[in-house]
Structure 1
Amino acid sequence: MRFLRWILPLSLALGLIACGPPRKSVFPPTVSIQQLVLQPSGAWRLTVRIQNNSYGGMDFTELDAQLAMADSVPVRVHGGFDRDIPAFAGDIVQIDVLPTTAMARALAASAAKGSAGALPYTLSGTVRAKPEQEKEPRDFDFSGKDWLSPAPGIANTWR
């Protein structure tokens, strides 16, 4: 009788816990530069790709990062936006930045080499997002290294 007195409530509690919705795993997104376009003013328009690597959708609202080209001093990349990105999908945002003189020289040197002029860059920082099963947004850290090369046939554009 004692056995039934505690096993019955325990089995009911476990049954109720199992009835809840399954939790979807949340993983940090990947952030990279998809395209860089040199503006007439000298500013750069970055097309930044945000890849959601989670099993559920996420609402992305802000990016705050540092961009360094070659061995130059980094510049701040900051933008606010509203992107609802489904699970395992990506979307882009455009952010304008003002490069340092060294960064502008490095970009010009890569352009002079044509399509062989690959320029290394590092983009690291945080992106703010709210996973679909959470009530509050949170910051996700990211860091990545890649290369930009002049786009053949498209002036002032690197990909």
Structure 2
Amino acid sequence: MKVSLEKQSYVMQCENFGARGCSGCTCDPCDCNPCNCGDGVAIPRWRVSGYFVEKGELEALDVSGLLILSLAQPCGESEAGAWQEVLLIDSRASTSQAAALLNAFEARLASIPAEIGTHFSGQRSVYQVPMSYHRDEQRSWLEVEFMPEQALPLRESAESLFKEWRYSGPMALR
């Protein structure tokens, strides 16, 4: 499904996608929210929602081919405890492009699973990281490497407890 965003300052063609790290779910990839596909409610290890800008301009800047996504993870060892989100922006984006992507998409991105009752609120940290998105006739594929100590911080919250996260796999189109 393609999403077209049209406002006074931009016109874009985007793909909205997501996935979650579920076990016991038969979906490939799982993007159910909540997921009841297995033997009961499956709390994921992580959940991601994002946009790939196929072509478009934001605030007179070409942002074609760039990605922005929200990653949610549990804060501690237990997936059922408190969760937090971080926003990840394609490392190929300039500072101006990153700011424009945040302005356009930040309010639209949320990844906290529906099954999770507690999460840290407040302003989310934002990092630039290497990522890529590919699409063929059958699948959308996301590759991301988020290593907090190596990511370029654009905005950090004081309580950020994010763990490294690597993903190379399919995404479900929304």
Class of the TM-score when normalised by the shorter of the 2 chains: 0.3 to 0.5
| Greater Rg over alpha carbons, structure | 1
User: Where is the helix percentage greater, Structure 1 or Structure 2?
Assistant: 1
With normalisation by structure 2, the TM-score equals 0.31
With normalisation by structure 1, the TM-score equals 0.33
